[in-house]
Amino acid sequence: MSAERAVDLARLIDLIEQFPRQTILVLADFVADEFVLGDISRVSREAPVLILRRRQMHTLPGGGANAVNNLADLGARVRPVATVGDDAAGEALAEYFRRKKIDASGLVRKRGWTTPAKTRFLAGWAHTVQQQVLRVDREPERLPDGTSDLLVHKARERIADVSAVLLSDYGYGSATPEIVAGVRGRGRWRKPVTLDSRYRLHEYEGLGLTAATPNEAEMEAAHATEIGGNASKLDVLARRTMARLNLSALLVTRGRHGMTAFERRRAPHPLAVFGSDQAVDVTGAGDTVIAAFTLTLAAGGTVLEAAQIANYAGGIVVMKRGTATVTREELAAAVRSDATENRTEGSSGYAK
């Protein structure tokens, strides 16, 4: 392994060690990821369906709440701002973060509003791996009047001394272009601002964002065209998105093809998947990616360094089942392991 390569990996370790010094404001759509585990009892006499003997249920932070959870497990101080309902799912999310010593005072509790929730039913025989057999989603109506103004107020109260801002827009109303504009005000952002938007990437035009982290399917939807794994076509569309939103960078995740980092006036930088390309579970992997990417930028890393660290984090989390996170210790260990492996083999673990 070359000295240059060794310095690169040492630099990534240095950046990861800076994570606990960072404070991140997260404006997000919170989702409750509920998992109902059961044993297959028999086939119903009423219909050709399985009967599950329910064993347990647990709730984990999903959507933008999963980005918050990843930031916390990576060592950062997090200030989340989001809307939750006064229902069991909303209370479960708030309590989860209180137990982890994450400030939940930025959560807006709305009476009668449904906290977005995705309930996954997992079934299996005794001594077998549980498999998902059904997912039931609960989706809210539009946010009540006045909620957007309250979210802007809470975000502006918490933004003064943060290292970066992460926007996680799942389409439920807590992180919209209008709210982001209200948080920004008439001035300019004085810290990195990153965006993960599922449905309206291009609607954030003119808001002065630093970077966005769409997946390839979201890029296809934004441009109403098919990329089909074509790197040249992705390059063209990425440049269009960057120009339209005036972004400094775009990190596009591409499943088993890894991810590609784009910067102004630089050639695209593809990164092969870290670890295995046979993912165990991709649930919430995009939240992990933007958390690691944002945190690295906040720590002073370059776009490429942030993409490399996000690539490690993504490769780790897709090998875990369910909505999972990556810890700072796991991330540092992966970089060190990659360095050792490449020193032994004399080759690079991912494209430079």
Cβ proximity of 34 and 138 under 8 Å: no
- In what helix (H) or strand (E) does residue 142 lie, and over which residues does it extend? none
| Distance of alpha carbon 66 from alpha carbon 64, whole angstroms | 5
Query: The sheet that has 211-212: what strands, in order across it?
Result: 107-110, 77-85, 23-28, 164-169, 193-197, 211-212, 249-253, 259-263, 269-271
| Distance of alpha carbon 163 from alpha carbon 161, whole angstroms | 7
Active site residue 287: yes
| CB half-sphere exposure, 12, CA atoms < 13 A | 29
Q: Nearest-5° angle of CA 259, CA 61, CA 260?
A: 5
3-state helix, strand, coil in the chain (%, to 5): 40, 25, 35
Residue from 29, 196, 287, 338 carrying the catalytic annotation:
287
Report how far apart, in Å, the C-alpha atoms of 205 and of each of 200, 209, 246 are.
10, 9, 8
Residue closest to 294 by CA, chosen among 139, 189, 143, 179: 189
Strand-pair partners of 194: 166, 211
Q: Which residues are catalytic?
A: 287
